[in-house]
Every structure is written in structure tokens, then in C-alpha cells.
């Protein structure tokens, strides 16, 4: 067994590998860029080596620097994590030449599966079902249109060397194919230094289901069940689960056996994933093979009881798999939510900055948090904006979902925007709960983007009760201050008015924490809620039991003081609650509201990023839908279009300029 390994990665995956290595008694070496000098993976490792400036190409993708770090520290092997150099053939070859073990598959297997065009040909030869399409390299947009017409719309344009949703476009027409070809090739060249793309039939109502395989160098190969990864946005996974709520035992076995056949055909060793597209009749087609550890591997670990990183390390050290296919048993259900620093209300633009508050939910047998950040850490513009992977486990899918909802409620993040409300909204969707999933789920359920909906009556009732008792506790403390003026009430008043999300409710509070009762009318019914909690003023999480009876439901509400109001967050909803006396509420209702500034004559940058190009000039007339600019953020190119006809008055930014969110780019007359 290795005595020391280097992790050629950063963030949560580097931390995750370090935890397993530490448990195995293996020393670890972290590498880091200038932007990651204070990163969590650097703090966790036994040793760390600086490898360059913040941009990936100057640090984490520098093969020579990583090999030098191995030699300088005596690391015998390298775990690449995912992304970065994990599927880079040149990296694997350089390590082998230097006498350093690569904790991953053989270089030939990486080469065979790393090219999506060649991998489909190999899969077909191995007896694996494949999607109809044109597997040759496409030279230009005109050729792409010709091929798309022959295959029949809709089609998928995909980068041959792609991954992570980059270099992928769906096209339903010639015009979309032309534009998709241009943007996919540009994105692929930027992300992978390889602008080749191909076209294949887009399977409608598809599910994205992948099979985890594991093989050793002794000829043993097994599959560890499947993961349902259909909940995606822009081809990037958002929520994954294992097993799939759609597959039956027969289909699972067939997919698993085909995945193993493909792995054996390319001489695969280590952990890998064979991805399939599955239609509504459970017909499945090979999509690609990822020759690395997947981001969503924890859900497989939860239902199998296996540590995939440990098994990768043991296989790389020459050990045989300690079990056979018949020994693989799937137990329970696991769900993973990817928590990102992004603003779901603003079309998911990345959010960068410092994590002023970062308190993940407590970990247990049913809750796991894989993260690479800590309170005070910074979400950088240079890397993927993932904050954490939140995984919950339960004996049933319903139990796993319930635990995920509770864990999301307890995930306290401040300083950057995040997608927790969006994740909670997905979990509450009747369609998600029914397991009726496709890769179009998010586009279909949120056709106009994500907008926080009206508070459900049961959620509003909980928040009204919580606001009343929280305010009562705050008021009681204020009244306990010595030296108050004469005439101030000695006890909190029982009757209040709670304003919540634009609506108002007259409440009557009896008792005080740790046990109180709140009476009010909401949603056409009278509520008499018991509230029990040991919450103390200043704590960000209000953990309570709230219900019509003295029992009630256990829940978590995030509660923060904002001026005279309380910011309450629960079940994916975040709203301001203001508690006033009945008289003050009547007067407040007469106050005028300040109108928002008019920004309709400006094209504003929807995210922090780089202005790649401007398609207009001063005095030019534009029509609705016409391209105005391209902004690149987190290695993704975003085309900004005119919302209506107009004339360009002036330009406020130049190509190559770094933009802040809401920075003006174009002003219209």
C-alpha cells in the first residue's frame, strides 16, 4: 500500500480523498494555486505545494509542476479527483514515465473512452446499445445542418472531448443548429482545447441514468447499481439519487451487464461510470463513459456501504476487489443535492465572494456533507462555484427526501447567493415526489426560470407562529434592561400584528419560550399552534416543534434580525417578517412605497464575468431577439439578446473587460 499520495485537485473532492486516505493511514499532499492558499484541502493535507497563479491553465493543469511536487514530497501515487487532469492521457503517461502511480484507469482506456466519437464506435462493437447519429467530425455549420436534417430534429450537438455540460446544445431547427455549432465549438475549444463536435439524435422525454462500474487489474469487474441523474440544468446535474425510481430489476441487470462488457472491452481498471439515456419505455442507449470518479459517487456509497475512493486506491496498489457481483447488495435510498454559489432568481448567475456565514447541517448516518469550504472562505471567480454536496439517506425514497428537506432548512449560508431555495422547490414538486423525471424536468417545471412562489398555507402558518414567539423573546429581553424610562410596559403585550410576505395577520401570544401558543387566522381557518423550542436570541437556527397539538412537527427555521424585521427561511422560502403593535401596523399601512429605479433602457450584465464580444455599435438599430453581447462566466459563454426593438445610444463596456453583476454594457435611446 502507498505511504503517501498527492491529490491533483482542489475543493470538496480533494478534501473527500484526504479523509479516506487519512482513515487508511496514508499521508497526503495537496497542491494549490495562489487563489487557494488558504483553502480547506490545503489545511487538511499533511503537506502542500504551491503550483502557480489562479487560472487553471497556469496551476492545476500544469502537469510538470504536479509531477515535480510528487518528486519533491515523495508521493508515490496521484489521485486526480474529477475534472482537471482526471481524464488527461498526457498526464497519465507523464506519471507513468516518472514512476508515479496514477489512481485511475489505464491510459489506453482513458484514450478509448475520452473521445465521445470513438467511444460510441467501441461501445457499438462491444454490444452496447447506442443512439442513432453521425459519429464523424463535423467541419462547419453548414455540414452540421445537413447532418441534422438527415438524422431528423431534434438533435444534440456535442463536443467530442466535452464534459460537465460544456460544448453541448440541443437544436430543433436549422437556425438553432448553426448557432449551436458555433457556440459549442467555441465553448469546447475554450474548455478542452479541442473544438471537434458531433451530432446525434436527441431522445425525447429522456432520463439520464448511469451505472457505476469497478474493476481491478486481475480481470474482475462489477457494477454497483445505478444513479438517476435526470434533474439537470444546462446539462449539469443538480440532484441525483440511487437507485433510480424508474428502473426495474430486469433493466438494471441489462444495463449493468452492458456497462461491464464495455469496461472489459477497453481493459478498464479502477472506478468508472457508464452513462445511458433511457426513454419512457425503458429502452436505453449508451451516452458516454466517464473514466474517473463521478461527482455524485456518494449516493452509490450510501446504498452499497462501499468507499469508492478506498477501493480505487487499493486497486491502484495492485489489490484484488474484495467481493464479486453476487455480493453487491443495494440497501435503502440516497439523494444528493449540489449546493452552488449562484442566484437562482437571476437565471442562476454565479455568485462570488466571501462566505460570511457557513454552517452546514450536522452529519450523521443519514446526512453527509462533502465540502471544500469553511466560514470565512471565498468563492472564487476562477473555479466551479460549488459550495457543497449534501447527501441524505433513508430506508425509502420518501424518507431520504424528508431528510433532505430538513437538511436544506438547516444549511445556513450567508455572504453569497445560493441555490438552496431552488433545490427545496424541486423536492417539493409533486412530479419529483412521484419520480416522474426527465432531463427536461427543470425546463418544464420552471419554464420562466425560478421565481419563489407564494408561501404555502402550512409554511406561512409556521412562519407566522415562529415570528411571533421570536419577537416575544426579543421583546422580553429588551424589557429586562435596567434604567428604562418610566411608563414603558413591564411585560410583552399579548396582541401583535405580523406582516409576512405582503400579508398581515393579527396574532395573540400566550406564554413564552420554551413553550408558547399562538392564535391567528390564515388561509380561511383559525390556527392555535403550540410552539416549543429552546432557541436563544442570536442563534441563526430556530429549531422547534410547531403544531395544532402539543406534539406538532419538528422543523428548522433560519431566523436573522434585519433592522426591525426578521428574515425567516424555511422549506425553500425566505421572507421578511415584521412584528408590530396593532396601532403601529395600522399607521405603517398608510406609508407610501418607494418605486424601483427604471433600468429598462440598459443591457446589464446578469453575472460577474468577462465581456467576450459586442455585436452592436452606437447608433445601430436592433430587433428583439438579436444578439447584443457574449459574457463568459465559470467557463460558460452566455449570449445576451435584445428584449425589444430599439436603437443603441452608447456602449458602457469593451470586449475583454471584466464585468460586475448589473454593470451596464449597452444603453438604448
- Identify the burial level of 36 via C-beta atoms within 10 angstroms of its C-beta, where 0-12 means exposed, 13-18 middle and 19 or more buried: buried
Residue with cell string 511536487 = 69
Whole-number Cα distances in Å, 81 to 13, 87, 315, 410, 491: 6, 10, 15, 28, 59
The span from the CA of 103 to the CA of 480, in Å, is: 63
The span from the CA of 389 to the CA of 301, in Å, is: 14
Whole-number Cα distances in Å, 304 to 13, 310, 491, 585: 20, 14, 57, 56
Contacts of residue 591, Cβ cutoff 8 Å, sequence gap at least 6: none
For residues 667 and 649, the answer to whether their CB atoms sit within 8 Å is yes
The span from the CA of 68 to the CA of 651, in Å, is: 47
Beta-strand runs (E) in 218-366: 221-233, 236-242, 270-278, 284-290, 333-340, 342-343, 349-350, 353-354, 357-359
Bridge partners of 567, per DSSP, are 560, 576
Element (H, E) at 28: strand 27-32
Decide the pairing of beta strands 270-278 and 367-371.
unpaired
DSSP helix/strand/coil, 186: helix
Whole-number Cα distances in Å, 448 to 136, 283, 345, 389: 36, 31, 10, 26
Whole-number Cα distances in Å, 9 to 84, 140, 164: 7, 35, 16
Q: Which of 283, 154, 278, 275 is nearest to 206 (CA)?
A: 278
For residues 631 and 659, the answer to whether their CB atoms sit within 8 Å is yes
The span from the CA of 565 to the CA of 561, in Å, is: 6
For residues 441 and 432, the answer to whether their CB atoms sit within 8 Å is yes
* C-alpha cell belonging to residue 142: 453548414
Decide the pairing of beta strands 602-604 and 77-79.
unpaired
- Provide the 10 A C-beta neighbour count for residue 297: 28
The span from the CA of 344 to the CA of 11, in Å, is: 22
Catalytic residue, chosen from 288, 301, 336, 632, is 288
Say whether 363 is catalytic. Answer: no
| Full DSSP string of 132-155 | -EE-SPP-SHHHHHHHHHHH-SSE
C-alpha angle 661/662/668, rounded to 5°? 145
The span from the CA of 112 to the CA of 266, in Å, is: 7
Contacts of residue 394, Cβ cutoff 8 Å, sequence gap at least 6: 332, 333, 366, 400, 401, 402, 403
Residues labelled catalytic: 288
Amino acid at each position: 500500500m502507498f505511504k503517501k499520495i498527492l491529490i491533483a485537485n482542489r475543493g470538496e473532492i480533494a478534501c473527500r480523498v484526504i479523509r479516506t486516505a487519512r482513515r487508511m493511514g496514508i499521508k497526503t499532499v495537496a497542491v494549490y494555486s495562489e487563489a487557494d492558499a488558504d483553502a480547506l484541502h490545503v489545511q487538511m493535507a499533511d503537506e502542500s505545494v504551491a503550483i502557480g497563479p489562479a487560472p487553471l491553465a497556469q496551476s492545476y493543469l500544469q502537469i510538470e509542476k504536479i509531477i515535480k511536487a510528487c518528486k519533491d514530497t515523495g508521493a508515490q501515487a496521484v489521485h486526480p479527483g474529477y475534472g482537471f487532469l482526471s481524464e488527461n492521457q498526457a498526464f497519465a503517461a507523464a506519471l507513468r514515465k516518472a514512476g508515479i502511480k496514477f489512481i485511475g484507469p489505464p491510459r489506453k482506456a482513458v484514450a478509448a473512452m475520452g473521445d465521445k466519437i470513438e467511444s460510441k464506435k467501441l461501445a457499438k462493437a462491444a454490444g452496447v446499445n447506442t443512439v442513432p447519429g453521425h459519429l464523424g467530425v463535423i467541419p462547419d455549420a453548414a455540414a452540421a445542418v445537413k447532418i441534422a436534417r438527415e438524422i431528423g430534429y431534434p438533435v444534440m450537438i456535442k463536443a467530442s472531448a466535452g464534459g460537465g455540460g460544456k460544448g453541448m446544445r440541443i437544436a430543433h431547427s436549422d437556425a438553432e443548429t448553426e448557432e449551436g455549432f458555433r457556440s459549442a465549438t467555441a465553448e469546447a475549444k475554450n474548455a478542452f482545447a479541442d473544438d471537434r463536435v458531433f451530432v446525434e439524435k436527441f431522445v425525447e422525454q429522456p432520463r439520464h441514468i448511469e451505472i457505476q462500474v469497478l474493476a481491478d487489474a486481475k480481470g474482475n469487474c462489477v457494477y454497483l447499481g445505478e444513479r438517476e441523474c435526470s434533474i439537470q440544468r444546462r446539462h449539469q446535474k443538480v440532484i441525483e439519487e440511487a437507485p433510480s425510481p424508474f428502473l426495474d430489476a430486469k433493466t438494471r441487470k441489462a444495463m449493468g451487464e452492458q456497462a461491464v462488457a464495455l469496461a472489459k472491452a477497453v481493459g478498464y481498471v479502477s472506478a468508472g461510470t457508464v452513462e445511458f439515456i433511457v426513454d419512457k419505455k425503458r429502452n436505453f442507449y449508451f451516452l458516454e463513459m466517464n473514466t474517473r470518479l463521478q461527482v455524485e459517487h456518494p449516493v452509490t456509497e450510501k446504498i452499497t456501504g462501499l468507499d469508492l475512493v478506498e477501493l480505487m486506491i487499493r486497486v491502484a496498489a495492485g489489490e484484488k476487489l474484495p467481493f464479486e457481483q453476487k455480493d453487491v447488495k443495494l440497501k435503502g435510498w440516497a439523494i444528493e443535492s449540489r449546493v452552488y454559489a449562484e442566484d437562482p432568481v437571476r437565471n442562476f448567475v454565479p455568485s462570488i465572494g466571501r462566505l460570511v456565514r457557513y454552517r452546514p447541517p450536522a452529519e450523521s448516518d443519514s446526512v453527509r456533507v462533502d465540502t471544500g469550504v469553511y466560514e470565512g472562505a471565498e468563492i472564487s471567480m476562477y473555479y466551479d462555484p460549488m459550495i457543497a454536496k449534501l447527501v441524505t439517506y433513508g430506508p425509502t425514497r420518501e424518507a431520504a427526501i424528508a431528510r433532505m428537506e430538513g437538511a436544506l432548512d438547516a444549511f445556513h449560508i450567508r455572504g453569497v447567493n445560493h441555490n438552496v431555495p431552488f433545490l427545496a422547490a424541486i423536492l417539493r414538486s409533486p412530479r419529483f415526489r412521484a419520480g416522474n423525471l426527465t432531463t427536461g424536468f427543470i425546463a418544464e417545471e420552471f419554464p420562466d426560470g425560478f421565481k419563489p412562489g407564494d408561501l404555502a398555507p402550512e409554511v406561512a402558518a409556521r412562519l407566522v407562529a415562529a415570528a411571533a414567539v421570536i419577537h416575544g423573546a426579543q421583546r422580553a429581553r429588551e424589557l429586562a434592561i435596567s434604567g428604562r424610562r418610566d411608563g414603558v410596559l413591564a411585560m410583552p403585550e399579548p396582541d401583535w400584528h405580523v406582516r409576512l410576505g405582503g400579508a398581515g395577520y393579527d396574532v395573540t401570544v400566550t406564554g413564552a419560550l420554551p413553550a408558547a401558543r399562538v392564535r391567528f387566522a390564515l388561509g380561511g381557518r383559525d390556527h392555535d399552534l403550540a410552539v416549543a423550542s429552546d432557541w436563544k436570541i442570536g442563534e441563526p437556527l430556530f429549531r422547534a416543534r410547531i403544531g395544532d397539538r402539543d406534539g406538532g412537527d419538528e422543523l428548522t427555521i433560519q431566523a436573522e434580525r434585519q433592522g426591525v424585521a426578521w428574515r425567516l427561511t424555511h422549506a425553500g422560502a425566505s421572507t421578511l417578517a415584521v412584528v408590530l403593535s396593532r396601532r403601529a401596523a395600522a399607521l405603517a399601512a398608510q406609508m407610501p412605497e418607494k418605486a424601483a429605479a427604471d433600468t429598462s433602457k440598459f443591457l446589464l450584465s446578469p453575472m460577474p464575468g468577462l465581456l467576450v464580444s459586442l455585436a452592436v455599435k452606437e447608433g445601430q438599430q436592433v430587433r428583439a431577439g438579436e444578439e447584443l453581447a457574449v459574457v463568459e462566466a465559470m467557463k460558460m459563454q452566455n449570449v445576451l439578446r435584445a428584449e425589444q426593438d430599439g436603437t443603441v445610444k452608447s456602449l458602457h463596456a469593451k470586449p475583454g473587460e471584466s464585468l460586475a453583476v448589473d454593470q451596464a454594457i449597452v444603453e438604448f435611446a
